[in-house]
């Protein structure tokens, strides 16, 4: 019973990590632009809702 619970938790953690990696893979930044360089989504992620806040965010990236 404890082993099954642990296996379920590991599976859930892997699922969440996979979702995070999919979301990160959609982020784009134009390094040729002047700082601060905003992050943009390559395409909307409809199953996560509208990405309005992320499209407006500006995260400075030093190169």
Q: What is the mean pLDDT of residues 6-14?
A: 94
The tokens describing 18, both together, are 């996979």
Does residue 2 contact residue 32 with C-beta atoms inside 8 Å? no
For residues 55 and 41, is the Cβ–Cβ distance under 8 A? yes
11 pLDDT more than 80? yes
Domain ranges of the chain: 2-56
pLDDT digits 0-9 by tens, 27-38: 899 899 999 988
For the stretch 1-31, what's the b/e string if a residue is b when 16 or more beta carbons lie within 10 angstroms of its beta carbon? Answer: eeeeeeeeeeeeeeeeeeeeeeeeebeeeee
């Amino acid at each position: 019973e404890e082993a099954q619970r642990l296996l379920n938790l590991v599976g859930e953690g892997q699922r969440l990590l996979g979702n995070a990696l999919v979301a990160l893979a959609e982020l784009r930044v134009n390094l040729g632009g002047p700082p601060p360089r905003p992050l943009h989504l390559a395409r909307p992620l409809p199953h996560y809702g509208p990405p309005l806040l992320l499209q407006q965010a500006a995260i400075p990236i030093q190169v």
